[in-house]
Each structure stands twice: as structure tokens, then as C-alpha cells.
Amino acid sequence: MAKVWEEKDNVFLQENYLNYSNQDLADMFGVTKKSIQGKLRRLGLHRKEDGVDSVEVIAEDKFGVKKEDRTEEKPLFRKKRLNCRVPKATPETLPPAPYRPVELTEKRKRAIREFDNAIKIMSSGDKDKAREEFRFIREHFPKELDIVQRSESWIKILSRQPVQEPVTAQDYYIHGVESVERSDWASALDAFRKAVELDPEYLDAEYNIACILCRQGEHEKSLDILWHLAEINDRFIEIAIQDDDFEPIWQNQGFIDLAKEYIEEDE
């Protein structure tokens, strides 16, 4: 799970971020370097010198005499090819495989459009047609593993009988999906939150919470959830920049910063 930042952590970063590199801070807090970069940005902390981050390193020889100062410079932003190829599915008891960026091909763009269309059909209440659309994606875009996996999940959900009394996290997730189909946003939000409460690693449920909050105008809360999801698996940012639910914040500076963080990397 992603680290829960406490006030004492914020104070330490504010007082010491100039004394350590991002990698040093990542090691101290047990998080990724990317997570530290995002955290410093949200705290308004910047290390800039002619457009680059710098960490001053002063070394001493064996006699205790300081050697000439040197500066390790790192680009402020990292260039990265859009989108990803997710490894083969692993058992649910194992942690998810690491995210691997790949080129955003025309076929992948079409797969994303087909998936978005299937979601819209499902939201309209036509479960049978939506199920066929998800099967079409599975058959025609087998190399887009992350989209195929999400399509297979929806096929299973749409093929199951409605759950009368939700018990497990998946039960509540299905109940949330059915509420979305009825445009019952309050019920859907409650169901997805219950799913996350029962299973904190249920990322799809958390993503749907962000979607609904954005629809309801809770843009900052929605962005906070997207930052949290991106620190675990940044494929959700790739999906968010294509998802109409987030259209109200596509021009929001916070959303733009988030997109930049996860679509650029070091050369």
C-alpha cells in the first residue's frame, strides 16, 4: 500500500529537503523516488538551478580536508512514452506485476475507445450488448493486456446474478456498478467506499470513487485519489486522461501536473 504521510513527515521534508537527494529521501521513507517528487511538489518545495534539480555533495579526503564541491544535476521532468504493457495476470494473492511503458499505438488508441464505448453501453443499462463489446475487445486486442484484463473483469461481473445482500468487497463493487447503471450516484459511491474499506487494495473501486467525486464537483478530493492511485500503478492516469468523467478537470493545473509526472521520465 502507498505510504500515509503524517504531519511530522511534512515538517521533516520542509526542513531537510535541500540536504538530501530525492533518492535519499525515498530510501528514508521507504517509498519510490517518483512518490517523493510528487510529495515535494504538493508541499511547494522546489530545488531549481537553471531549470534542474541539484544536490550539493561535499566530500573529504582521508585527512579530513574538503575536496572541491560538486553538483549532481538531474532533469526537472522526465520524458516517457505514453501507455503501458502490463505483464501476464498473476494470482490475486500475489502483488501486481510492475508497470511497463510502451508506445501509444493506433491499435491501443482504438482499444481504449472500444473500452470506453463498452462502459457507456453498460451505463445505459444494456448489459448484454456491453458484455459482447467487452468480449470483442478481448478477442481483437489480445496484446493490450491491461485493457483485456479489465474487460474480462466486466464480463464476469455482467454474467453474474445480482447480489441481494452484499458481503464481500466484490459484492459491494458489483452493487456499485449496478447503481451507476441506474445513475444512482449516492448509492454507487457508498458501495465503492465499502468495497475499499473491506479491501484497501481494490484499486478499481477507488478509481470509480474518484470518477463519481469529479462528477459531483469534488475536484480536489478526486485529484487526491488519482495521486494515490498513480503512486501504486500509474496505468490509472493513462485511463483518466481518456475518461470523460474527468473532463471537468482536464484543464485543472493539478491534473496537468499529475499527467506530466507520469508521462515523462529521464532520457
Instruction: Compute the chain's Rg from CA coordinates.
Output: 22
Domains and CATH numbers, the chain: 7-75 (no CATH), 106-263 (1.25.40.10)
Phi, psi for 70 (deg, rounded to 5): -135, 160
Between CA 240 and CA 35 the distance in angstroms is 19
Model confidence over 107-166: pLDDT tens digits?
Answer: 888 989 999 999 889 888 888 899 899 999 999 999 888 899 889 988 888 887 654 677
Q: Tens digit of pLDDT for each residue in 72-108?
A: 444 444 444 444 444 444 444 555 555 454 557 888 8
The b-or-e profile of 17-27 (16+ CB within 10 A means b, else e) is: beebbbeebbe
pTM of the model: 0.44
Specify the range with the lowest mean pLDDT, choosing from 18-22, 49-53, 207-211, 253-257. 49-53
Q: Do 206 and 196 meet the contact criterion of CB atoms below 8 Å apart?
A: yes
